[in-house]
Structure 1
Amino acid sequence: MKHKKDWNRQPAVDAAGDKIMADQNCAPSEVTAYQIAVELGCSANSSIHEKTTDWCRRRERESELAHIELPAGAEEEYRKVLTEGLEKNMQAFVRMARLIGATMHQSAHIPVMAANRRAEAAEGRAETALQICKKAEADLEAAHAEIETLREQLAEAEKQSWRLQGRLEQLQIEATKASDRVHAEAANPVEVVAPSEAQPSKADAEGSEQQQTMEFDLPDDASS
């Protein structure tokens, strides 16, 4: 249902009168304000009467216009012109549509190309980062291996240090003992007998006697 503010407008009255005239196949003067009011669903007030009169007057003037008959072939010629114009317009429309489509495709392709370039750049950066990570992992493994080697060398050096420390302590003990002996000998000196004054030992005396006996027992040939 139409809004109340749209009931009394002239275009609504004109449309209602044209519909009634077409449905009843009657002249404009035969259409009443009451019929138009019923068609519009409102009361036949003075506004409806005024607009119905205005509609009827305009439609009667239009019907009084002289009808001109078209010459033979005019309709066909007009149809041909319309057809050719339609064909040209259609061709122009197709060209325009293709141009618009190409422009839209190009416009849409530009962001795609830019996105592809950004994706390729991102892939390049990712590959570079991956190579850096691989090198860092290799360097880390090498560093771990070197640390392990240094730990082994340090453990061996500690063992050597303990051995040297033990040897040093042993030498210190021996040096202390030697020092103690030297101090003890210095505190208790031993008398030394000169070689010319020393008495021959029993073994030296027996050896001297044996040598003399051998000299006396030699044969004559040996003495000569």
Structure 2
Amino acid sequence: MKESENWTRQPKVDEAADAIVATGKCGVIDVKGYQVAKALGCEPNGELYTKVRDWRRRRQDQAVLSTIVVPPETEAALDDALGRMTGEVKALVIRSIQQAGSDFERSKTLQIVDAERRRDAAEAETDNVLELWQKTEADLSDASAKIEELEKKLVAASSRETFLAGRLEQRNADWVTALRQETRDAEHRVPSYAPDVAIPNPGAVPVTGIDSVANDASGGSTDDAG
């Protein structure tokens, strides 16, 4: 189907609707919006139905009441009969004909006015429905655009989340590797002692020092006694 916005201009709609009526399968009042849409090769929408109704209203306004055609021979016979009447009778006949015609026209006018009133009421209700339809289509279009925008933002956020998660995972892996390397380096820096080497105790007094003091004290006493 073709895009509706390119094929729903009023002249195109009028042309398609007139072509449907020209087929003789339906009258002006019977033409439907979907028939015009099919003829134009587009999708039916609120705008198209509004233009079809505008076309129908204009075509109905162009229609005229049919007139009664009097055959020539009948008109001649009437003229001959009236010619034989007196002036008074002629005037009476003419007034009667005028009165009948006036009554007929008044009746037709009232019928037309009533039909137009009912048509206007129905068209006003239909206009409200079509207006709501077009507003709904516009709201739907706006909603679709917003949904598309939100979907793009969601994809972007998901990609960023995946990227950040990958960086965090790599950072954790690097941290674990560095910690293991540091542990291994610390193990290599700790000194190792042989089993037979005594480890000095900084809080203990050397034994050799005590013996030296004792010897000095003992030697001094001997010298004094001698």
TM-score over 0.5 for the pair: no
Rg larger for:
1
TM-score (norm 2): 0.38
Task: Give the TM-score, by structure 1 length.
Answer: 0.38
Question: Greater RCO between the two (CA within 8 Å, min separation 6)?
Answer: 2
